[in-house]
Chain A
Amino acid sequence: MLRERIQASNYSFLDKLRSIDYLLILLIIAIGSISVFAIYSTEGGKFSFYTKNHIIRLSVFFSLFLVLSFVRVSTWYKNAYLFYIVGLILLITVLFFGISASGATRWINLYFLNLQPSELMKIAVIICFARYYHRIQSSDIQSYKFLIQPVILLIIPCYLVIQQPDLGTSILIAGSGIAIIWLAGLNIKYFVYSGLLLLVSLPFAISVLKPYQKSRILTFFNPDRDPLGAGYQIIQSKIAIGSGGFFGKGYLKGTQSYLEFLPEKHTDFIFTLFSEEFGFLGSIILLFLYILLIYRIINVGLVSRSFFAKLYCFGFATAIFLYVFVNISMVLGMLPIVGAPLPIMSYGGSSLLSIMLGLSIVMSCKIYNQEQISVY
């Protein structure tokens, strides 16, 4: 125990710098730069509000990421539950003091930023679960006593987020939580059973959905049902991507977005714009950058000694994967439109903040990867 502490405190600054994952930083910078160009394009090639804001946020949050990377992983571990509780409190605050936009109440006004606590909750759940499973013996994992706690911890924020209403984020939170439970080694049969249960209860679940959510799901199965209403986004997005072809229409030449046929092009549909202008080639390259990013995060987990770090990195990698997958499948018309941003690429402070926060924890795991974390 004493040895470990000495070991941890013995990291010299040079050692820390040496163990930074520079490829990861490079990937973040690459995707970040692409996002600046993409958002510049959504404004029709004018350097104005969105581009400016995005650059400021990227630089602020990237600096924050660099600073927070040097926070000890054990500090993250110790404050994991606190993180979760703060997230929960913020979510409850939204319920009462949140500000609304287009029929949803998701934000808290922090003056410099409209914070979306549900985005932070995505990270909070991962870090909280990583800590929870860090200390549980593998023999105890299968017992109901230890299963019921994370399930409750997951249901509370999901329910709060659904109430906002924000089905997309809620699903992503649930997804990353379940991913960690899976990684921790819960018997596969639980997943099978709950999957079956979900299928059976689907009709009931649909009946409690909001009308707009129902119409989105119906529209997903048949976008031509209402081409100017709910199906409009899917149809226009597919047209934009399809018309891009192999090489794309060229930077700043995407007619679909330039002529404003694309809805929410700087947030959820940023990939559509990118794909229209840079074509199949550009899309595959961007996809490859994300795969690399996920690979680097997993790699950090692999070289970490503590279960907390491993669980966190693997969980976070899965979460990033989920965000990317859900967002792109959505704009490609493979999933219903649920409102999920593309990590780093999409315009939006909270989403960017939570991703950068998550990445800084990954980096901290990397820098302090030899640190053992006491179970108690």
Chain B
Amino acid sequence: MLNRGRNIEKGRVITRRMFILAAAKILLFAGISSRLYNLQISDREKYEILSDKNRIREWKTPPQRGIIVDNFNKVLASNDRVFQLHLILDEINDFDLTIFKIKNIIGLDQFEIKKLYKKKERLKPWDTLVVSDNLTWEQFSKINLYLHELEGAKPVLSTSRFYPYSNDLVHIVGYVGDASPKDLEKPEIKENFVPGLKVGKYGIENSQEKMLIGNYGIKRYEVNASGKRISQIDYIKERQGNKVNLTIDIEIQKYAQELLKGKAGSICAMDIYTGEVVAMASSPTYDPNKFTHGINQKDWQEIRNNPLKPLLNKSIAGLYSPGSTFKPLVALAALEYGILDPNKTIRCKGHNHPYELYGVKYHCWKKEGHGYMRLRNAIKQSCDIYFYEMARLLGVDKLSIIAKRYGLGTNVLGEIYNDEKKGLVPDTKWKRRVLEQSWYLGETVINGIGQGYIQTTPLQLCLMTAQIANGGYKIKPHIIKDESINYKSVINKIKLDQSNFPLHERNYLDDINVEYYQRMYHKKSNINFVLDAMFGSTNEQYGTSYKSRYDDPKYQFAGKTGTSQVRKITDLDRELDLDTEQIEYKKRDHALYVAFAPYKDPRYAISVIIEHGGSGSKAAAPLASKLIKRIIDRHKLREQFNNGNTSLA
């Protein structure tokens, strides 16, 4: 019985303990259920997103770059069909073997293979390796022939940048290349970048990236855990970049470039009312197409080591003393401030009796002297003595106000070119601030003939000429078509203002900001005087560019020559009086010429600079003359086209 009692007790213990355990089990199961609830109901969305992220992988498809066209919609930068070879890395079992086979088929050298391996290291295992982005047709067809032997190889028909006018436009349009880490910091590139995409490196290609780059497409694939594509789910098509419409006329640009062939220099042409840059040539030049697929070392060294500096965009980044081309502006400033009567005569006595100031001698360029000069003749024949005296009377600060107003000392095209130079228009404050010295009167004197501290770019000189030629109105120079400007109304407005000649309400002699298409002058007669003197310089006997003139009023133009010294002329030089050809190239003067045409009812301004070309009248003016004829011949076409009659294109 005792045994029985014990057994009952034991049975009770077991049952009791079982129930305690059962309670614990229920609690733990409840814990599991609440966890399930948490994952599957509370946090469901979070895990759904994670699951989609897992199973869906995106491949970006590169967009086509926007095209660049000239004023007449001629394509300056297009997208050409190219043959490429891609390797889909996750389809390759033996990378080395595949590369070896490809090497034998298309003939890669050791250097290229090394580069491929380096490239591969940076890619993810499911990425695509671009083996070559520009195969020849022969290589491409060979690859297709052996395709069954090449795992993961994918011959691709793609597009790449092509510049049909290669050398003629590189300084304007620029070129593209592989994106550098610095490029990738730019938001417009960062947001739209796809591996292998070419980005703008210079010029319009670079500064208009936002317009040109377009948006990449997205192909979404369902993939498995090892990244293999199972099926395509979604395809958002890529969007081609926008068209960029330039104001350049490719025919004139080409001709300008041709005129500069074999020389170092620049030619700029501008519409004096609309501010459209019609041509902006810089020489020597180079082929932007070479950069698209990575330039080879030899070509690069050739460009880099050329002493004539092809990489320098001379129109906007070349700095030159304006020389005598500055004289019309000096004369205008003197007249505007009423410093001198244009009928005042000054005698130029030649090298034997130079201009003297505090014991320092200043010579005229003409050895035998000009004799008695009035202002008009002084501009026409470019007499330095007259301008020394005039500058002395005017003072550098007043001159700098007018020079800056007419476009010197600031960027002409704003943000378009990252290498555009501002140049320098000196004044007394500038010298004290930057050089921490006081201004000498002698510096004012040589400033009067465009020498000394003053530095200008060819495009600035072109703008200066344009703004004098249009009657002294401020224009907005630009190289990309600006749809917001109604050219017709702008021209009409300026012409109406010219003829109305109302009373001046503002004092235009102060250092003020002038609005676009507003007058910049104080007295209209002063502008007309300068224009007339420039007419004389080209179209009258003894004028410095008389030989380049046209008698036909359709082409007749007015201009001003300039010769910019690259070093100080010594007494010995004066004695020797060598011809340009006899001087060492580096020491020769720069030849300059600015002009506007046609003289009656002018429309275009032009500036020409030939580095170390000698005198402006011999080296620069004849080129300007040729180009002016071409520009005027094409004027009607341009006018019709811009007024909406596109059928003539």
Using CB atoms and an 8 Å cutoff, list the residues of chain A in contact with chain B. 137-139, 179, 182-185, 236, 238-246, 255-256, 259-261, 275, 279-280, 283-284, 287, 291, 294, 298, 301-302, 307, 310-311, 314, 318, 321, 325, 328-329, 332, 334
Contacts and interface: CB of A to CB of B under 8 A. Distances in A.
Interface stretch (B49-57, B127-135, B268-276, B481-489): B49-57
A183 B47 contact: no
Given A280-B36, A329-B32, A185 B47 contact: no
29 contacts: A137-B6, A138-B9, A138-B10, A182-B17, A183-B14, A185-B13, A238-B47, A239-B51, A242-B47, A242-B48, A242-B50, A243-B50, A245-B44, A245-B48, A246-B41, A260-B224, A261-B224, A280-B41, A283-B36, A287-B32, A287-B33, A291-B29, A302-B15, A307-B7, A314-B14, A314-B17, A318-B21, A332-B32, A332-B36
A242 B43 CA distance: 7
A95 to B, nearest CB: 33
Contact of B54 (A179, A185, A239): A239
A260 B222 CA distance: 12
Interface residues of B, number: 39
A239 B40 contact: no
Nearest to B56: A255
Contacts of B28: 321, 325
Interface string B342-376: 00000000000000000000000000000000000
A255 B55 contact: yes
| Chain A contact residues: helix, strand, loop or mixed | helix
B11 interface: yes
B295 interface: no
Nearest to B51: A243
A294 B21 CA distance: 12
Contacts of A301: 18
Contacts, number: 128
B104 interface: no
A182 B21 contact: yes
B14 A184 contact: yes
Contact of B39 (A242, A261, A311): A242
A195 to B, nearest CB: 14
B29 A325 contact: yes
Nearest to B230: A259
| Chain B contact residues: helix, strand, loop or mixed | helix
Given A184-B17, A307-B10, 12 more contacts: A138-B6, A238-B47, A239-B47, A239-B51, A242-B51, A243-B47, A243-B48, A259-B224, A259-B230, A280-B40, A284-B36, A294-B25
Given A280-B40, A307-B14, A259 B29 contact: no
Nearest to A245: B44
B223 interface: yes
A243 B53 CA distance: 11
B213 to A, nearest CB: 34
Interface in B93-122: none
A294 B54 CA distance: 37
A181 to B, nearest CB: 10
B18 A298 contact: yes
Contacts of A244: 40
Interface in B513-537: none
Contacts of A182: 17, 21
A185 B14 contact: yes
B156 interface: no
A332 B39 contact: yes
Given A137-B6, A275-B40, A307-B11, A256 B55 contact: yes
Contact of A259 (B37, B39, B54): B54
B226 interface: yes
Contacts of A328: 32
B569 interface: no
Given A239-B50, A259-B225, A298-B22, A185 B29 contact: no
Nearest to A334: B35
Contact of A275 (B21, B36, B50): B36
A291 B55 CA distance: 34
A183 B11 CA distance: 10
Contacts of A283: 36, 40
Contacts of B36: 241, 275, 280, 283-284, 287, 332
Contacts of A255: 51, 54-55, 222
A294 B41 CA distance: 27
Residue among B18, B22, B41, B226 having the largest count of chain A Cβ atoms under 10 Å: B18
A234 to B, nearest CB: 12
Contacts of B39: 238, 241-242, 332
B46 interface: yes
B14 to A, nearest CB: 5
Given A183-B18, A183-B21, A259-B223, A246 B6 contact: no
A139 B50 CA distance: 58
A287 B29 CA distance: 8
Contacts of B55: 255-256, 259, 261
A150 to B, nearest CB: 15
Contacts of B35: 329, 332, 334
B529 to A, nearest CB: 81
A310 to B, nearest CB: 5
A255 B222 CA distance: 9
Interface in B69-87: none
A38 B13 CA distance: 41
B51 A321 contact: no
B226 A256 contact: no
Contact of A240 (B7, B21, B51): B51
Nearest to A257: B225
A259 B35 CA distance: 25
A141 B15 CA distance: 16
B9 A259 contact: no
A222 to B, nearest CB: 17
B44 to A, nearest CB: 5
A242 B44 contact: yes
Contacts of B43: 242
Contacts of A298: 18, 22
Nearest to B9: A138
Contacts of A279: 40
Nearest to A375: B3
A294 B55 CA distance: 38
A259 B18 contact: no
Interface in B221-272: 222-226, 230
Nearest to B18: A314
Contacts of B51: 239-240, 242-243, 255-256
Contact of A242 (B11, B15, B46, B223): B46
A311 B13 CA distance: 11
A321 B28 CA distance: 10
A241 B40 contact: yes
A247 to B, nearest CB: 10
Contacts of A245: 40-41, 44, 48
Contact of A241 (B9, B25, B47, B223): B47
A182 B18 CA distance: 9
The 4 closest A-B pairs by CB, nearest first: A242-B47, A243-B51, A185-B13, A259-B224
A239 B35 CA distance: 13
Contacts of A179: 21
A256 B13 CA distance: 48
A183 B40 CA distance: 36
B109 to A, nearest CB: 37
Nearest to B222: A259
Contacts of A238: 39, 47
B40 to A, nearest CB: 4
Contact of B40 (A139, A242, A259, A321): A242
A339 B424 CA distance: 79
Contacts of A307: 7, 10-11, 14
Contacts of B22: 298
